[in-house]
């Protein structure tokens, strides 16, 4: 086992979990422990992971602490601190809801339950943004509890998405999408009726559609220390996002940028509301009024946040320096030029429509200022490499056959 005074326990087995795992491996030569509901191809064959604990009942609130107690008992025999990191909103929610019990076994950096509910429930989040001067798209709320007709006078197209994603995905239905784009009143009512019939009883967010392709989307990663002080703030322009209806909003390629005004604005917002840990904002630039408008904040590092590690600001190091070593750090506003991608070059060359961005992508590829974390050089398992090659071919087919 490693010679550090801690063991990383990462909850999740997806691409985000893998990016966190390689962050620990790069920085500390540590192979983390993963805890998941099921094995996933991103991490299944990896040889930079010490062990994956699979518990099919991990999503069950009543079992979560029991599972993590078993994991703690198994791994804290070495007298090391167990550093707990969640890789999706649901796992982070479970950590926060059970923080008192988990603090007896683990160390971590997550916010209060009250603040989490204000940030994860979008109707609450948009009110907070308004109070703190953060721009958001024009938004309406529809209550799936009351199930009344939606009669607001609106301009189309519109975006529809759940206010509470965790509850939404607990009520599965055929044709369920992460985000809907509707072109008229009939399509709007169809989506509302489908969601109402599923059993989901929280709000739906009905929102002004901001025009523009994937390159109008923006990403920001911020780390706030346990003491509530920002230590890292980044900004990046999306090059491509997933185009399948179940995965829209997941970024597959982006270029890092520098915009001090926006970076500071988002950092001040998080500090003002009492946030701690990693946060990942999704924004879109609205050329109609020249403003960046925030859609949501993920209460964790995102699956594309690895670009911070690639540029020397290792995500694992932020957790470790803060939670294990209690180090104070000045704020870094990331100012580098880099292309992050999980799709092959052919996808970038064929499916990026913005000509200027396409040229910039080519330049960054030529200069070697790019990276794909999935092809981590020290992860040498042959089966995993074959899976990744097949996945790259599959990405080409996905972009060819899907246009959101």
**Nearest-angstrom CA–CA distance, 127 and 13:** 33
Residues 303 and 200 in one domain: no
Residue 103 lies in a domain: yes
The structure tokens listed for 82 are 């167990």
Residues 223 and 203 in one domain: no
pLDDT tens, 37-86? 999 988 999 999 999 999 999 999 899 999 999 999 999 877 899 999 99
Residues 157 and 241 in one domain: no
Residues 247 and 270 in one domain: yes
Residues 343 and 386 in one domain: yes
Residue 194: is its pLDDT beyond 60? yes
CATH number of the domain residue 182 falls in:
3.30.1490
Provide the residue range defining the domain that includes 242.
214-401
- Other beta carbons within 10 angstroms of residue 105's beta carbon come to 18
Residues 203 and 218 in one domain: no
pLDDT number for residue 395: 84
When pLDDT is cut at 50, 70 and 90, the band that residue 311 belongs to is: very high
Q: Which residues, 6 or more positions from 239, have their beta carbon under 8 angstroms from its beta carbon?
A: 214, 215, 252, 253, 254, 255, 339, 341, 348, 352, 357, 361
When pLDDT is cut at 50, 70 and 90, the band that residue 159 belongs to is: very high
Among the listed residues 14, 11, 83, the one whose alpha carbon sits nearest the alpha carbon of residue 44: 14
Mean pLDDT confidence for 199-224: 95
Residue 132 lies in a domain: no
Residues 99 and 198 in one domain: no
Residue 1 lies in a domain: no
Number of structural domains the chain divides into: 3
Residue 117 lies in a domain: no
**Nearest-angstrom CA–CA distance, 173 and 171:** 7
Residues 301 and 385 in one domain: yes
């Amino acid at each position: 086992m490693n010679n550090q005074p801690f063991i990383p326990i990462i909850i999740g087995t997806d691409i985000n979990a893998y990016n966190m795992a390689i962050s620990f491996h790069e920085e500390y030569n540590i192979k983390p422990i993963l805890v998941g509901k099921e094995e996933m191809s991103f991490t299944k064959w990896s040889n930079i992971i010490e062990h994956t604990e699979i518990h099919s009942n991990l999503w069950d609130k009543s079992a979560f602490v029991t599972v993590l107690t078993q994991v703690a008992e198994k791994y804290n025999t070495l007298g090391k601190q167990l550093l707990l990191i969640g890789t999706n909103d649901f796992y982070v929610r479970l950590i926060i809801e059970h923080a008192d019990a988990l603090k007896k076994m683990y160390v971590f950096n997550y916010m209060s339950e009250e603040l989490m509910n204000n940030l994860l429930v979008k109707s609450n989040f948009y009110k907070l943004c308004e109070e703190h001067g953060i721009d958001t798209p024009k938004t309406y709320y529809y209550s799936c509890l009351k199930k009344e007709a939606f009669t607001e006078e609106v301009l189309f197209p519109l975006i529809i998405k759940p206010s509470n994603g965790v509850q939404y995905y607990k009520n599965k239905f055929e044709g369920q999408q992460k985000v809907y784009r509707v072109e008229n009143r009939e399509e709007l009512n169809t989506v509302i009726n489908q969601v109402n019939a599923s059993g989901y009883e929280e709000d739906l967010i009905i929102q002004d559609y901001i025009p523009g392709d994937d390159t109008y989307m923006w990403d920001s990663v911020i780390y706030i220390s346990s003491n509530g002080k920002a230590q890292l703030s980044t900004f990046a322009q999306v090059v491509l996002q997933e185009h399948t209806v179940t995965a829209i909003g997941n970024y597959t390629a982006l270029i890092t940028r520098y915009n001090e005004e926006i970076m500071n604005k988002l950092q001040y917002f998080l500090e003002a509301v009492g946030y701690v840990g990693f946060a990942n904002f999704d924004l879109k630039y609205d050329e109609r009024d020249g403003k960046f408008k925030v859609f949501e904040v993920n209460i964790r590092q995102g699956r594309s946040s690895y670009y911070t590690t690639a540029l020397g600001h290792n995500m694992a190091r932020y957790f470790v320096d803060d939670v294990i070593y209690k180090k104070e750090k000045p704020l870094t506003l990331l100012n580098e030029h880099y292309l992050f991608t999980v799709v092959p070059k052919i996808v970038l060359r064929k499916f990026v429509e913005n000509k200027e961005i396409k040229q910039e992508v080519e330049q960054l590829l030529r200069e070697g200022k790019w990276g794909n974390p999935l092809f981590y050089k020290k992860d040498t398992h042959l089966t995993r490499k074959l899976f990744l090659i097949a996945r790259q071919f599959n990405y080409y087919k996905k972009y060819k056959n899907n246009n959101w």
